[in-house]
Chain A
Amino acid sequence: MASPSPSASPPGSPSAEELRPYTLVAELTYRCPLACVYCSNPSDFDRHRPELGTGEWIDVFTSAEALGVVQLNLSGGEPLLRKDLEQLVACANRLQLYTNLITSGLPLVRSRLGDLRDAGLTNVQLSIQDATKEGSERISGKVSFEHKLEVARWVKELRLPLTLNFVLHRENLGRVGEMIALAESFEADRLELANTQYLGWALHNRAALLPTAEQLKVARELAAAARRRLKGKMEVLFVTPDYYAELPRPCMDGWGRRFLLVSPTGLVLPCHLAHTLPGLEWWSVKDAPLAEIWQHSPGLTAFRGEAWMSEPCRSCERRAVDFGGCRCQAYHLTGNAANTDPACALSPHHDAIVLARRSSESQALVPLRYRRKESEPKT
């Protein structure tokens, strides 16, 4: 007899932990027209070539769906730079994947967005760097603000669901109220106010970007008020930077656990930057079936589960909640990826975080370092 009580719960939550990815992040390319100072691509992004071809990506999507993936993030770099994006979206649609285009909105014309919708695109996540033209273009390094607003209008006109994503830092945290107003004016379905995490390019720019505790407090309260006010209408997400969290973030929901990321050249990774950690071996979709890579890749198994943990994680009650935090952060701040994430107040290396926070309180002007190829001249 069926139960009369309806229920909705996170998938795969109970008992037996099945080894199954739910989300595929397909980083279709590292190329991008923007030069954001907190880009999540590796510093040597330009050396990662050649990109996978259309057929190779279609094979990746197909194998990922067979492994259990239901969500597909088409990301980059800028995925619109792939001329075969419509074909890839159509393939994802045939596989009934929930397909989210994560884009800067450049380069895009309205008719192409219509083609992508017709191919079965489910959701558009558009990044805007700030609520003002000046602030936005200072961070992205390119004239782009008005075009992004135009793209947001097209998304709604074409009746596609719209997520607006603002990456937050000390220069724009004071304009969170204006970002909320902008999202409301577009009738966005979801608003992500996500503080940058200090890895990759953002770590190079940490002194310029890390906010103060007070800035964060004000912004978080504004976001919470908007969430209450807009409940049922617009989802409002606020992500705190790890540096102010005290408890580590369950980075990627645990290493090689729910997320599968494929880099532009085909490396199968647990997160955006894992291939920048030294000493790990990564397998490519060109060399083995995805199911085998997911199960046995040395890189993916390195920090999966709890066997790799040392104290204070090993005996911590929260180890199944936060999985020890972010491995990349552990490596960059302590020199060892197997250490507890120093964002955790229990980490013996937590001083690194406390010092960075303290220096955010008294700050001289620091120049920004834009994302650029190593071969490009500095300007």
Chain B
Amino acid sequence: MIDARMRPALAAKVRLKKDARSGRYLLLYPERGMELNPTGVEIVRLCDGQATVGEIVAALVRRYASTPPEKVESEVLSFLGALEERALLERGAAAPGGVARDGQP
């Protein structure tokens, strides 16, 4: 379940690649890939482990001002939910605070 306070980041196994042939962006992970539309790419780029889901929604609401905010929100949440279901998101901490700083390998 996507929580508005979550700070999503792409999982380590995921790569975003611009497809040289189609010009579209592909989200690649083991044995699979998905093609993103431009809005999907915008959202994925905002998943940097810093921005909260709430902030990502707000950014998209500003960007698509002519679309009702509830509609933008529900679509962003369902898109993130679909990524999470496929284990493509790091389960970013729902609590405040950013990335751990002592995380040396």
Contact = CB atoms under 8 A, between A and B. Distances in A.
B11 A6 contact: no
Main secondary structure of the interface of A (DSSP, over half): loop
A358 B67 CA distance: 60
Contact of B86 (A5, A10, A158, A235): A235
Interface in B78-98: 79, 82-87, 89, 91
Given A98-B17, A159-B105, A232 B89 contact: yes
Contacts, number: 116
B40 A8 contact: yes
Given A96-B17, A189-B87, A7 B40 contact: yes
Contact of A163 (B30, B36, B84): B30
Interface residues of A, number: 39
B83 A231 contact: no
Contacts of A235: 30, 86-87
Given A6-B75, A11-B26, A189 B11 contact: yes
Given A122-B13, A232-B91, A4 B33 contact: no
Main secondary structure of the interface of B (DSSP, over half): mixed
B85 A9 contact: no
Given A4-B64, A11-B34, A96-B17, A161 B12 contact: yes
A22 interface: yes
Interface in A49-95: 65-66, 68, 70-71
B47 to A, nearest CB: 12
Nearest to B65: A4
A22 B87 contact: no
Given A3-B37, A161-B11, A70 B28 contact: yes
A9 B39 CA distance: 13
Interface of B: 11-13, 15, 17, 19-22, 24, 26-31, 33-40, 42-43, 60, 63-64, 67, 71-72, 75-76, 79, 82-87, 89, 91, 105
